[in-house]
Each structure stands twice: as structure tokens, then as C-alpha cells.
Structure 1
Amino acid sequence: MNAAYRQLTIFQLLISQHIVNKAALADQFQVSLRVIQRDLSQIRQFIAEQNLFYKLVYRRQFDGYQLITTQTSVSKQAVLVLIKIALASRSLTTAEMTQTIDGLLQLLPLADQQEIRPIIKNERFYYQPVHHGQDLLANIWELSQFITQQQAVTITYQKQHREIVVRTILPEAIIFSEYYFYVIAYNAKYDSNLFYRVDRIRHLQTTSQAITRTRAQRVEDGELRRLLHYMQPGKKMTLQFKFWGIVEAALDRFPTATVIKEYPAEKAVLIEATVFSWGAKMWLLSQGANVQVVAPQSFVDDFQAELKRMADRY
């Protein structure tokens, strides 16, 4: 066995989280302790020259050498939480969810992986993705690159009722909400920022068409996330509603919300929030008799009309 192969074998042991003992290695490879020491020095030099996120250290209590990472690593607790969130989202196909979970687990030492696998085993077995059946990871990454490069693209898009259209857009942000990934993009034809579900994009390609926007037309996805609900835009507005439900749930749903008045006798509060109207209306309707919209009057009228249309169904 030549020196290069011997050093590669030792490095493979180290990177597999083994602690290597010089005497044991010398016996295994039938060489002297000095040769093994030289091998370890060569490995240490290789790590330094290649700027790898590792350091070779001697563990006195084990009388051996160990490779430790110098990069800040993610904790097993964080990986478990991320996997749980991913599974609950139901947003990826079974194959892509498997790929994502296995990739996250590979960030951890083998012992931590083995600790997490039984915890998620049942959820992985019964995982049921949403019904679109489209692989998303490649498209999401590609769209993210177009956002960074401010590159316009032409997409073939399947609308809600299966109509196929072609749109030239400038992708600006990608947001996940309620099981689906959306790309928010400026459409020059409609002079508006519109929402496209990523799973409904059947084809996309770059275009030489230049799309420019004013500063006011640009999307700030962090700010948008505070105001947008159920990926339904509508008109930006400040509303007030009286609420008899769990206050924390309402404040969590609307990040801009504050309690401006309390009604202890009724066990209710008055909440004010800046929102986009359509998504806000969908959530408020879901709360049934726990909600009374107070202002603005135009929204109250719209809410009452919607309630009448609902009642007429029965």
C-alpha cells in the first residue's frame, strides 16, 4: 500500500468521525509510528491548504486523533424543528421531501441522525403531499437566481381553471403560504405586481425584454409578509374588528395588529391592523361569530354583503 492510499484511508476514517490511534494504525498498515505521524502531518497540511472547515486535534483521554469541524454547525434540535415544519407544510412531492429531509440529516453527526430518525419515522411514513404533483426545488432555485440578477423571464402558466397563458414577468420575491410557494412578479402588461403559484409554472425561460419599475412598484417581501394573508392581495387598508376569540391567535395572524380597547364584561377586545383586504376578509370570515368588523365602513359593507351571500346559500 502506497503512502497516498494510506493517507486517504486515514482521512476517510477521520471524516467518518473515528478517533484514530497511531499505534493501531501502524499495526494495521505494517509501518512505523514515525510514518503514521508523517501521514497525520500531511493530512493536517492538506486541510490547511484546501481551507477545509476541519481541524485535526489530539484527544488525550482517548489517546488518539480526531477531526473536528471549525464551522458553526446546526444543532440537532434545529434540524428536528426544520424537518417537522417541512413535513407539516406538505408543499413538496414525496421524492423531494425525502431528498430535503435526508439532506438536513446529513448536516448532523451519525449519532444525532439516529436519534432523530425514530422521532420522525411515523410522520415520514404517512406524509401526504398536496395534489399538484410538481417538483419544485429546481424551479424555486432558478427563480431565486432570476430575482438576484433582476432578470425578466417568460413563463407558461396554468391558471386556476386550467387555462394556459404565457406571461413575461420580472420575478421579485418568493413566499410560502398555506401549502404553496408563490413567486411575486411585476407584470408590465398589467402594470402590477401579481402572484403566481410556482407549481403552476409549466415552463420558464429568460427573455431579452427589459422590464423596469418605479421605486413605488418594487416589492419588499419582508414588509409584504407582515400585511398579506392567504396570498390574497386586495387593497391595503387599516381595519378595526371586535374579537371574542383567542386574542393571541388574531395577533399572530396579523403581525401589525394591536389591541386598542378591551371589553372585560363581554370578554372581547377591539383590534386594529394594517392589512390587504382580501386575505384579511378570508380569515375574519373563518372566525364566525367571534368577529364583528367595525371599520372602515366600506369594508364593513363588503363584509355584510359577503355574509348575506353566504346565508343565501342556505
Structure 2
Amino acid sequence: MDSNTRIMQLFFRMANGESINLSTAMKEYHISERTFKRNMTTIHRALPEKSYEFHHDLKTDNYFLNQKDILSFDETYAIMKILLGTRAFGKQEMDSIGKNLVELVDTHKQSDINNLLSALKGGSYLPVNKDNNLIKRIGFFREAIEKQHPISFDYRDSNPKGHSYKRNIGIPLSLYFANYYFYVIIYRENPEDEKNNGKTYVYRLDRFSNPKMHPRKQLTVPDDKRTDEASIRNKSYLMNSGSIISYEFIYRGYYPAALDQLPNSRVKKDSEGEIVKTADGGVIIYGQMFFNGAKMWVQGQGSKVTVKAPQSLITAIKDELQETLNGYEK
């Protein structure tokens, strides 16, 4: 083995966390002490200062490297906490992501990140999706979005009447994460419509079945159908379905918490900039969001919320409450 090849091999072994012992290396590479130490000096001088610390343990004659932070420890720790908190990835994928993140921090601090991964083994990490193919799916849809390539797919929806097994064809426009799940925005044509008026839909990534690139090379997406991720986010609360409505709620709780939950919501103020208060001490919150998301949010607030508008939402809430009462009267 020539000198350059040996030096590269020694470096990569040390970079992977291995300690190289002087006596062992001399026997393994059939070299003298002087040659080995010269090789170590070459590695030491060539090391990028921002990436590694070179160490020689005089007692054991072991040579090793400590990796410095590639990504700061606090940033890595925060990312790990966020990923664990979202519960989006299955245990295997979360473990793989965590191990890759561990390699980005200082060697001395890697155990602290590994301690976070212990939650996967202890059973306290409960993913919302137990499958371990999200990364693969994200890669598939990312490619389709970049190439603007049509795809064909089946989808397991949450329709109480049952799942539709009709094969769909559409073009993915965007992919985003919100409220525990990844979502894909897809423009889908409607061949049953004489004018072929298509529509933009929001799908949950984990509910796709057998998505494939479609042989059709082109699918025209009208400009008014190119709903982007930001637009969806600004009108969503847990559900991205139903028509977009303009709403007004009377809220009697701690209103800043409500504003945090409702994208782009506002508190009604008078002409002098003072918050308008109702007779019972509530405030009026208004904005725009998807109908089903608004309905879900109102139902979760109980008596703290009264819907002022629109009438369609008022009617839906009343009907839902009446059905709930009927269930208790049986």
C-alpha cells in the first residue's frame, strides 16, 4: 500500500470514530514507528480546523479525532425535539433520521442526542403513522413536483360512505407539513365534465396507494388552479376540505390562543383601535378558512364560541349539536 492510500485510509477510519493504536497500526501496515507518526502529522496538518480536533493519548498511544459541530448542538437538539413532537415518522425512519443528525454534532455531545432516540426503544414515542415509507414517498412526490409530471394513484379517503377505488390522474403542485401529517396539493382533471373543468385537491401523503408516474407527458394546469402551499396554510385548521368561508366568531376565552390556532385571524376593533367587546365580555374574531376546519375548531371550543357568520356554519353547528343530544337521549 502506498503512502497516500494509507494516509487516506487512516484518516477515514479516525473520521468514523475509530482510535488508531501505534503498535497495532505498525503491524497492520508493516511500517515503522517513524513512518506512522509522520502519517499522523500529515493528517493533523491537513485537517480542517472547523471540522475536527486531533488527539494523541500519550498513555495508550492511541490517535483519534473528535468531530466538531457541523450543525450546532442546540440547533440539532431543537430539530430532534420538533421531529419527535410531530410524531410524523414511523419508529424506523425516525431512528434513521436521528442517527444521521447525531453525526452532525460534536463527538462529546453525541450521547445527548442519542438519549433522545432512546424514546423510540422505550415505547414512549407513538407515531401517528406506523409505516416507514414516508421518506420514499416524499422523494417520489418531490420529483413529480420538480418535473411537473402527471401521476396516477389510488387514495384512501375518510369518506364515511366508504373508500372510492377509482384510479386518479393529476399533477402534484406542492408538498407541505402541517398538524402531524404531510400533505400534497394536486391538480386533477375531471374527464366527466364536458369542459373538463379540473380542480385542485389536498391529499394526505400517507393515504396514497401505489402512486406512479403516468405515461402521459403533459397536463395543463390553469393558472387559477395553481393553489400554493402558503394559500392553503393561511386558511387551514386541521382540515383542508370544504369551501372557503368568511367567518365571525364571538370568543369568550383567552383570545390570543385562538388567534394562534386560526391562520390570519383578526380581532375586531373600533375606529379608535380599541378591541370591541360583546355584552358577555367576549371578543369578535374574523377571517377566512375552510368550512370543515372552521366547524371542527368551533366544536372543539364548546361554550367559549358562538358563530355569528356565515349562516351555513351556524346551521351546521346546530345540526351537529342536535345529533349529539339525540345520541344521549336514546
TM-score of the pair, normalised by structure 1: 0.79
Structure 2 residue 88 is the aligned partner of structure 1 residue 91: yes
Residue 272 of structure 1: CA displacement?
1.3
**Distance in 2 between the 1:212 and 1:44 partners?**
57
Matching residue of 1:11? 11
Amino acid at match of 2:136: A
Any idea what the Cα deviations from partners look like across 1:37-80, whole Å, max 9, x if unmatched?
687558877x8xxxx99778999xxxx997877xx932222222
Aligned residues: 301
Any idea what the Cα deviations from partners look like across 1:186-218, whole Å, max 9, x if unmatched?
001261111222222221221232211221110
Matching residue of 2:150? 152
Matching residue of 2:256? 248
Amino acid at match of 1:230: L
User: Would you say the 8 A contact 1:74–1:108 is kept in 2?
Assistant: yes
Q: 1:76 to 1:211 in 2, by over 3 A?
A: same
Amino acid at match of 2:224: A
Structure 2 residue 222 is the aligned partner of structure 1 residue 225: no
DSSP 3-state at the match of 2:206? helix
Matching residue of 1:165? 166
Any idea what the Cα deviations from partners look like across 1:141-191, whole Å, max 9, x if unmatched?
110111111111111333433442311110112233333322110001261
Match of 1:275 among 282, 289, 296: 289
**Distance in 2 between the 1:130 and 1:56 partners?**
38
Structure 2 residue 260 is the aligned partner of structure 1 residue 258: no
Any idea what the Cα deviations from partners look like across 1:255-313, whole Å, max 9, x if unmatched?
20121134387442211122112111111111100101112333333333333333333
DSSP 3-state at the match of 2:257? helix
Match of 2:224 among 194, 216, 221: 216
Q: 1:181 to 1:42 in 2, by over 3 A?
A: closer
**Distance in 2 between the 1:155 and 1:119 partners?**
37
Q: 1:132 to 1:152 in 2, by over 3 A?
A: same
Residue 139 of structure 1: CA displacement?
0.9
Matching residue of 1:200? 207
Q: 1:162 to 1:174 in 2, by over 3 A?
A: same
Identical-residue share of aligned pairs (%): 23
DSSP 3-state at the match of 2:286? strand
Q: 1:202 to 1:119 in 2, by over 3 A?
A: closer
Structure 2 residues not aligned, in runs of 5+: 56-62, 191-196, 269-274
Q: 1:312 to 1:198 in 2, by over 3 A?
A: same
Structure 2 residue 118 is the aligned partner of structure 1 residue 111: no
What RMSD over aligned residues (CA atoms) do the two structures have, in Å?
A: 3.6
Moved more, 125-134 or 266-275: 125-134
> How do residues 29-178 of structure 1 correspond to structure 2 at under 5 angstroms?
73-122=70-119, 124-126=121-123, 127-130=125-128, 133=131, 135-160=133-158, 161-178=162-179
User: Would you say the 8 A contact 2:67–2:106 is kept in 1?
Assistant: no
Matching residue of 2:182? 181
DSSP 3-state at the match of 1:250? helix
User: Would you say the 8 A contact 2:152–2:168 is kept in 1?
Assistant: yes
**Distance in 1 between the 2:99 and 2:15 partners?**
19
TM-score of the pair, normalised by structure 2: 0.76
Moved more, 29-38 or 188-197: 29-38
**Distance in 1 between the 2:147 and 2:49 partners?**
29
DSSP 3-state at the match of 1:128? coil
**Distance in 2 between the 1:57 and 1:94 partners?**
33
Amino acid at match of 1:272: Y
User: Would you say the 8 A contact 2:66–2:108 is kept in 1?
Assistant: no
User: Would you say the 8 A contact 1:134–1:199 is kept in 2?
Assistant: no
**Distance in 2 between the 1:37 and 1:133 partners?**
51
Q: 1:108 to 1:183 in 2, by over 3 A?
A: same
**Distance in 1 between the 2:176 and 2:264 partners?**
18
User: Would you say the 8 A contact 1:236–1:276 is kept in 2?
Assistant: yes
Structure 1 residues not aligned, in runs of 5+: none
Residue 82 of structure 1: CA displacement?
2.0
